[in-house]
Amino acid sequence: MLCLTLNNSIYAQQKAPVKKGTIKIQKRGQLARIIFDDANYRLIGMDYYGNIMDTTVMEFQMFVTIKGIFYKTSTVGSALNNEMQQLIERRDNKTILYFKNIKAKDTDGKIITIPELKYVFPHQGEVE
């Protein structure tokens, strides 16, 4: 009887599916670039692996020409201020935003200056 029980337990162990787990590690890197989030009106940082770094942008300036009038405004933080948002709402389909003097905090806590960012709004089915 003991032999039969032992045989069954060994057979059951061999038939049991082997569960292999996968450990997922999210890679984090240094700040690689800044992008404009046109849905939430803010600048966000991305690292070399494509991870979003929300707290990186500290201040920036926005330059835009709307209907022949040049506007320059600046803000502290990553979100566009009310004035910037109002300017964007008045844009036409050829408006280009320029973000300059972008100060951002790297993962090391070091403040760095990012080169100019140019943003062209995608055409939303408008006929010219």
Is 40 part of a structural domain of the chain? yes
Domain tally for the chain?
1
**Which pTM was predicted?**
0.70
Q: Identify the domain containing residue 114 by its residue range.
A: 31-120
Is 104 part of a structural domain of the chain? yes
Q: Nearest to residue 119, comparing CAs of 58, 32, 54, 39?
A: 39
Is 6 part of a structural domain of the chain? no
Is 108 part of a structural domain of the chain? yes
Torsion sign, CA atoms 40, 45, 50, 54: negative
Beta bridge partners of 39: none
Is 77 part of a structural domain of the chain? yes
Tens digits of pLDDT across the chain (128 residues): 545 454 555 555 555 566 677 766 666 678 888 999 988 999 998 888 888 887 789 999 999 998 889 999 999 999 999 999 999 898 887 889 999 999 998 878 889 898 899 998 876 544 44
